[in-house]
Amino acid sequence: MAKIYFCLFLISFLFGTFVHADNKNSVPTRRDEVRQYSSYKYWCIVHDPPPSDDKLQGFLDYACSHINCTAILPGGDCFEPDTLASHASYVFDLYYN
């Protein structure tokens, strides 16, 4: 069993080396990794510490009048966690991307 795990590790290590060796002129960053798995160039989230609740709510009200925010409503796919910062992060990402 240990031989199988070692072989899988070795294969995944070599594959990762070849993928990164293909792009020698640039240093991979976390943003590059996000791009690899997403059509977005970056993620928009609420910074820490977050702005006041009034500012976040004002942004949510404005943005949701221009985009579809049903996913953050009760019962929506992105309602949980039910915090203003989480909902605002979801809307930031939709609005700016």
Q: pLDDT digit of tens for each residue in the chain (97 aa)? A: 656 655 455 455 444 544 444 444 544 444 444 445 455 566 777 878 888 999 999 999 999 999 999 999 999 999 999 999 999 999 988 888 7
User: Can the peptide bond before residue 81 be classed as cis, meaning omega within 30 degrees of 0?
Assistant: yes
pLDDT of residue 31: 46
pLDDT of residue 11: 58
Q: Where are the chain's structural domains?
A: 43-96
- pTM score of the predicted model: 0.54
Whether the Cβ atoms of residue 46 and residue 56 lie closer than 8 Å to each other: yes
